[in-house]
Amino acid sequence: MQSSNQKVNALESIIGIFLHASKTPERVIETLAHMGISISIDSIHKAITSLSAESANTIRKLGQTLTVAYAYDNFDVDLKRSLPTTEKSDSTLKHLTSALLFPLQHGVTADDMKCSDELWQKSTLNPNVDPSLHPKKRTWKDLLLKISPPEPRHSSGLTQRERFNSWKFLYDICHYGPPYFSQFQEDLENFKPEEIDAIRPIVKTPIYPARAMEYSNSTVSGNISTIENLMEQGGVGDPNDVEMQYVVEDMTLHIVLFHGDLGTGDRIFSVQLRRSIEKTPWKRFQYVAFVPGLFHVKMACADAIWRLTIKPPSARIDETSLMHDISKLRPGETGIMGSNPGFRRMHQTINHSGICRRLDSWCVLSSQLDKKHTTLELFAESKPNFTTLQTMANTLSHQYVANHNMDRLRRQPANQRDEQHENSLLINKYFLLYEELSYGMNSGDIGRIECCLLPWIFIFRGTGKHKYAMHLTRFLSDVHFLYNERLKKAVRWNWLVNPTGKADRFRGVDWCVELQNLWTKVEHGGSGSTRTIERIIKESPLVQTY
């Protein structure tokens, strides 16, 4: 199989690197090398070293453009030994930090990010600025007027959110209702929710893994080391710093975006608070601008719905409760759903239960219009057209989802109230709000995401998730009232990435980091792994782009 030219063996090289990545035993690799199917073990190691050096050069060139964002998160790897030992040794669990680099898209230039001094003069951490000159502290009322100002009356009489809910009702019956309604799926494409402020044009975002770091970012000092290491890998820093051990591109006047979960954001703010008395921007970490990851925000939304609809024992009593739906949809998991379901189970429960509830709303409304339509199948037999379905969807959006009329319902005398109906309206509201946030994230509609985050901030406060409420309020206030227009656009239009370059395939930056961690743990964390921690760190940047 080998070429007559020993320097041209591309197929064998690919197979050799694949065998190495798959943790194939060395004896097997040697056998395949003798058969001419793979290159030798020494050649594989040389190829790995060459690829690592090439990846490091690519990251350095990318970082020195000063138009790149970083994202990092911790991950644990259990390096189990292949043979048991009688001696008690150190723990095989290693705490590491992985990171990704994302070139800033949509025309962002280095000059757009050159506003570090401007932000420092407005910062409340600056000890040399008179507190009376600090910018006005913004509240949710300011955000409401800025992000979701009063909109002109729509021809349908529905608000922006109600129009999305109407589309979602239509989508569910066309995709999950009786077969008759599937013919309207093409018409539904022309009825999609309007874009508020979407990331356009859609471009593919290249993703570059950085070298893994043997730091634990669960501590403030670990975050300091991680950020400094990433700046070193990117080849940027303060060339006037006497402690700088390598040649760098000067970035002291620029802002660098760091994506992460809220734990990372907390520690970054702690770093900047502790270092605020330092003399140079580099020592103050003045260049760091934290951007909360939307994937973790979505997980927090799912957890908030769990706290509202499942966690309280009183929320599981009547037959219209979400737990009653779970007993039908996931009968073998009622125990775990009531204690600690996790994001994936809760996400699927919200989607499936929401579809069932919205289809049930269709059935109720159709039976009110014609008593013969006791089921959706009977309603389909009447062959309604798409215009009729649109009118009914608008009615469902206005009457079967909690809105300002909820106060009127609750003020009624106790003997006239229908609390089960009120709770059903609220559950529909929470589910549709979750669906709208997911839709905005997938479509890259930053304006819609921001409009959704405003009510979620209050839900977070009501369910005890105060950290999310505080961080999101601070971030949105900084973006809309503190950042200049160029930095504001750079942050908002790079809040999400599109790894495939296709429509409706936007993803949170922190989701990409979590996926990278999953691949790393699957590759290196299995039982019987004999690789050392040093090799894992060195081999981490092999894959350069997804």
Q: In what order do the strands lie in the sheet with 208-209?
A: 208-209, 93-103, 68-78, 256-260, 288-292
Quick check: 64 and 236 in contact, CB under 8 A? yes
Token pair for 383: 């062959």
Mean pLDDT (whole number) for 482-509 = 94
Q: How far apart are the first and last CA of the chain?
A: 30
Distance (Å, whole) CA 402 – CA 210: 46
pLDDT at 75: 84
Dihedral, CA of residue 126, residue 129, residue 130 and residue 131, to nearest 10: -30
Before 201, cis peptide (omega within 30)?
yes
What angle separates helix 160-176 from helix 386-399, to the nearest 10 degrees? 130
More confident residue, 339 or 245: 339
**Confidence class of residue 317 from pLDDT cuts 50, 70 and 90?**
confident
Q: What is the mean pLDDT of residues 276-290?
A: 93
In the numeric block, the tokens 């230039």 are attached to: 109
Q: Which residues of 332-363 are buried (b: 16+ CB within 10 A; e: fewer)?
A: eeeeebeeebebebbbebbebbbbebbbebbb
Which string of DSSP letters, residue by residue, matches 462-509? HTT-HHHHHHHHHHHHIIIIIS-HHHHHHHHTTSEE-SS--TT--EEH
Q: Do 354 and 310 meet the contact criterion of CB atoms below 8 Å apart?
A: no
pLDDT beyond 60 at 481: yes
Alpha-carbon gap, residue 409 to 74, rounded angstroms: 48
Q: What is the pLDDT of residue 87?
A: 61
pLDDT per residue over 348-402, tens digit each? 999 999 999 999 999 999 999 999 999 999 999 999 999 999 999 999 999 999 9
Closest CA to 353 of 242, 252, 447, 428: 428
- Give kind and range of the element (H or E) at residue 258: strand 256-260
* CB-facing half-sphere around the CA of 36: CA atoms within 13 A: 7
Instruction: Record the tokens describing residue 200, joined without a space.
Output: 């356009």
CA angle 42, 48, 51 (to 5 degrees): 140
Q: Specify the pLDDT at position 7.
A: 60
Torsion of CA 519, 520, 526, 528, to 10 degrees: 140
Question: Bigger pLDDT: 95 or 387?
Answer: 387
> What does the pLDDT read at residue 195?
92
In order, the DSSP letters of 358-419 are HHHHHHHHHHHH-TT--SHHHHHHT---HHHHHHHHHHHHHHSS--THHHHHHTS-TTT--H
- Residue 86: pLDDT above 70? no
- Rg, the chain, Cα only: 27
User: Is pLDDT above 70 for 537?
Assistant: no
Q: Which of 20-24, 269-273, 315-319 has the lowest mean pLDDT?
A: 20-24
The 10s digit of each residue's pLDDT in 340-355 is 899 999 999 999 999 9
Distance in angstroms (rounded) separating the CA atoms of residues 237 and 511: 28
Q: What is the pLDDT of residue 5?
A: 59
* pLDDT range class, residue 8, cuts 50, 70, 90: low
d(CA 509, CA 498): 9
Q: Is 37's pLDDT higher than 90?
A: no
434 or 21, higher pLDDT: 434
Report residue 244's pLDDT band, with 50, 70 and 90 as the boundaries. confident
Q: Could you tell me the pLDDT band of residue 412, with boundaries at 50, 70 and 90?
A: confident
pLDDT (0 to 100) of residue 82: 60
Ranked by mean pLDDT, the top range of 26-35, 197-206, 246-255 is: 197-206
CA–CA separation, 63 and 450 (whole Å): 29
- CA–CA separation, 476 and 410 (whole Å): 33
Closest CA to 452 of 290, 258, 297: 297
The model's confidence at residue 3, banded by pLDDT at 50, 70 and 90, is: low
Angle between helices 294-309 and 446-462 (to 10 degrees): 40
**pLDDT value at residue 36:** 82
Tell me what the mean pLDDT of segment 316-320 comes to: 87
Q: What is the mean pLDDT of the chain?
A: 87
How many H-runs (helices) and E-runs (strands) does the chain carry? 23, 9
* pLDDT over threshold 50, residue 300: yes
Q: Taking a C-beta distance cutoff of 8 angstroms, is the pair 342, 420 a contact?
A: no
Q: How far apart are CA 335 and CA 341, in angstroms?
A: 9
What are the structure tokens assigned to 193, written together? 């929710």
Q: What pLDDT, on a 0 to 100 scale, did the predictor assign at position 543?
A: 34
Share of the chain above pLDDT 90, in %: 61
C-alpha span between 218 and 76 (Å, rounded): 12
